Amino acid sequence: MVGRLLNKLFSWATRDLAGAEDMVRIYRRRAKRSAARELGLTMALNQLALRQAEAGMREEALDTLEEAVAICRRRAVGEPSRFEPYLAMALHNQGSFLMDGGQFEEALPAAEEAVAVYRRLAARRPRPYEQEVELSVENRDIALSQLTRQVADQAESGHVIGPYPLCDECKKVNGGLVAVRHRQVHISANGRQSCVDEGLADVVTALWQADCDTTSACQDEYGNGRAYVYVVCDDVVAAQRCLTGLGLTVEKEACALYFHLPVTGR
């Protein structure tokens, strides 16, 4: 109750550009005297960025958010429960402001990290952060869609389903697919090699080391955090055993194995 009241008072004090600038000056002075006051400074910086954006000062707003992100990222290492909510907020706003300027390539990393941080918060306290997860996913998907369209327009040939390119070798053996939805890493193990989603590199490597053949995989099927790996049907039992051994809770549907990747820190 007290926290909500303080947030309302803070929002009222920063309701216009001048008020937000004053609040930043106050908290910047306080933060110089005590690092414990940096939380208030990040709150003030977030509010100032919103007021700057409203005034058409987009570049200034991005600079302000960059400072807020840097403070929150540094302090969240030791105090995640206090600083991660403001880190997620600053990243979400950063992605939105960059998209407003048509900078989709720069916006996507911020939007993706906002999703990751909000999911981490929701894993600990679902109710306060469920809506923020949904909004951040929507923001991320807009950036992803726009950037994919740009990549498709620039591609000389091939099939584009996302902004992240396969390596040159994998482009030759994937039926014309040249770019996908998630960042790729090229892995090799036990005589097998391929580009895979960055978040599934360890999982697919473990499956190959267990002599399980995979046919496709995705680290986040519909933007809901649910991953899957398709394996050769003869290897399903061994693959499920392997994934369970990695600490994953696996749901089997025919030759597909579904699971949620652990929610980890940055």
**What is the structure's pLDDT at 236?**
96
Arithmetic mean of pLDDT over the chain: 89
Contact indicator for 88, 114 with CB cutoff of 8 Å: yes
**What is the structure's pLDDT at 2?**
34
Contact indicator for 198, 219 with CB cutoff of 8 Å: yes
**What is the structure's pLDDT at 1?**
40
CA 27/CA 44 separation, integer angstroms? 7
CA 133/CA 111 separation, integer angstroms? 11
**What is the structure's pLDDT at 32?**
82
Contact indicator for 117, 135 with CB cutoff of 8 Å: no
Beta-carbon contacts of residue 254 (< 8 Å; ≥ 6 apart): 233
Question: Would the pTM of this model clear 0.85, i.e. be above it?
Answer: no
**What is the structure's pLDDT at 266?**
45
CA 107/CA 98 separation, integer angstroms? 5
CA 223/CA 96 separation, integer angstroms? 18
**Band of residue 12 on the pLDDT scale cut at 50, 70, 90:** low
- Mean per-residue pLDDT, 130-154: 92
CA 185/CA 219 separation, integer angstroms? 12
Report CA Rg, the chain.
22
**Secondary structure in 3-state letters for 45-60:** HHHHHHHHHHCCCHHH
